[in-house]
């Protein structure tokens, strides 16, 4: 995904702006892996092999996304993902 593409995207649920977190880029600066986060509803959308996955919740499978989210834990800035939304980690 070209970084400029982010300017054309918004959250498909509430049309709010989304924030990009880049995990890896290729030598041309294209985004290979990362995620998009909605500032309003806090949904998280992965970018896998350069493709943003922005499907409705009912068509997503957390079991398939969980390995990626676990690998990206340090990029989540101390938050966890519940129902495809970023949430604060609960203290026990």
Q: What is the pLDDT at residue 16?
A: 94
> Can you give the pTM of this predicted structure?
0.83
Query: What residue ranges do the domains of the chain occupy?
Result: 3-88
Residues in the chain: 92
What is the C-alpha separation between 2 and 28, in angstroms, rounded? Answer: 9
Mean pLDDT of 10-39: 93
Residue 66: Cβ-neighbour burial (10 angstroms; 0-12, 13-18, 19+): exposed
Task: Kindly report the average pLDDT of the chain as a whole number.
Answer: 87
Q: What is the pLDDT at residue 89?
A: 58
Closest Cα to residue 54, out of 11, 6, 5?
A: 11
Q: What is the pLDDT at residue 66?
A: 84
Q: What is the pLDDT at residue 58?
A: 87
Q: What is the pLDDT at residue 85?
A: 81
pLDDT band at 63 (very low <50, low <70, confident <90, very high): confident
């Amino acid at each position: 995904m070209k970084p400029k593409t982010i300017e054309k995207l918004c959250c498909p649920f509430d049309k709010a702006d989304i924030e990009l977190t880049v995990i890896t880029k290729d030598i041309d600066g294209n985004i290979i892996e990362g995620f998009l986060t909605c500032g309003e509803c806090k949904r998280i959308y992965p970018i896998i092999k350069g493709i943003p996955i922005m499907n409705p919740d009912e068509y997503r499978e957390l079991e398939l996304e969980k390995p990626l989210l676990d690998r990206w834990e340090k990029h989540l800035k101390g938050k966890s993902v519940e129902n495809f939304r970023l949430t604060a980690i609960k203290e026990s």
